[in-house]
Amino acid sequence: MEDVNAPHSMGTTIIGVTYDGGVVLGADSRTSTGMYVANRASDKITQLTDNVYVCRSGSAADSQVVSDYVRYFLHQHTIQLGQPATVKVASNLIRLLSYSNKNMLETGLIVGGWDKYEGGKIYSVPLGGTLLEQPFAIGGSGSSYLYGFFDQAWKEGMNKDEAEKLVVKAVSLAIARDGASGGVVRTVIINSEGVTRNFYPGDELPLWNEELEPCSSLLDILSSTGPEPMSI
C-alpha cells in the first residue's frame, strides 16, 4: 500500500532561459508523494526579491525552507544597502545554504533574475550545492528528457516571446514523457521593466506522440473508447 505519509517530493521539470534583455523561468505543477499526486497545481517558482525568483525541485519541504531563509537574508541585505540584491548575491546565498547542509537537503534549484549591473542571469544550484552560471538551465526528473532538445533548440539572441515559447514547449515535452511531471505550466519573465507571470492550463498545452486528449473524468475516456454499458 502506498505510504501517504511519505515526504512530499517534486518529481519536477524546472527551466531557466536567458534571452536578449532578461530571463524566463518555467515549471510544471505536480507535487507527488511516491505514486500519489499530493498537489496537481503547486507553484514551484518562488519570489525571493522584486527582481529575483527561484525554481524549486527535489524535496518540497527542503526547497521551501531554503527559499524562506534566503528571502529573509535578502530582505536584510536590501535594507542595509538601500538597493535590491543582485542575482549573483541571491544565488550565492542559496549556494551557501545548500552546500553547508548538503548532507541533509535533497533539493536542486535554478535562480533567475535581472539586475542593473549584469542584466538577466541564470544560476543553477544542483544537489550538493555547486553554483553554475549558465545561459539556460534545466532540472528535476523531467530534465533527462530535455538535454538533447535544448542543445538543438536554444540559441543566443532570442527575444522574450521566443524564449517563453521555448520554455512552454520544453515543459510540455517533459510532461508528456515524465510521469512525475504534470499539471499546468507556469512562467515568470524578468527584465528591466519588471516581472510578468503567465499561466498555461494543461488542456491548452500541445499534445505529443501517443498522448491522450484531456478529459474531465475517466468516464469520458471509457465512453469514447469502450462498448456501451449493459442495460439491466
- Strand-pair partners of 198: 187
Identify the active-site residue in 12, 18, 31, 107: 12
Q: Which of 53, 50, 55 is nearest to 78 (CA)?
A: 50
Residue 33 among the catalytic residues: no
CA dist 23 and 135 (Å) reads 9
Q: What are phi and psi of 14, to 5 degrees?
A: -125, 145
C-alpha cell at 175: 510532461
What's the chain's length in residues? Answer: 232
186 sits in which H/E element: strand 185-191
Q: Is 21 exposed, middle or buried (0-12, 13-18, 19+ CB in 10 A)?
A: middle
Cβ atoms of residues 54 and 94 within 8 Å: yes
- What is the Cα–Cα distance from 14 to 51, expressed in whole angstroms? 18
| Run of H or E residues at 196 | strand 194-200
Strand-pairing partners, residue 39, are 31
- HEC-encoded secondary structure of 77-109: HHHHHCCCCCHHHHHHHHHHHHHHCCCCCCEEE
21's grid cell: 534583455
Catalytic amino acids? 12
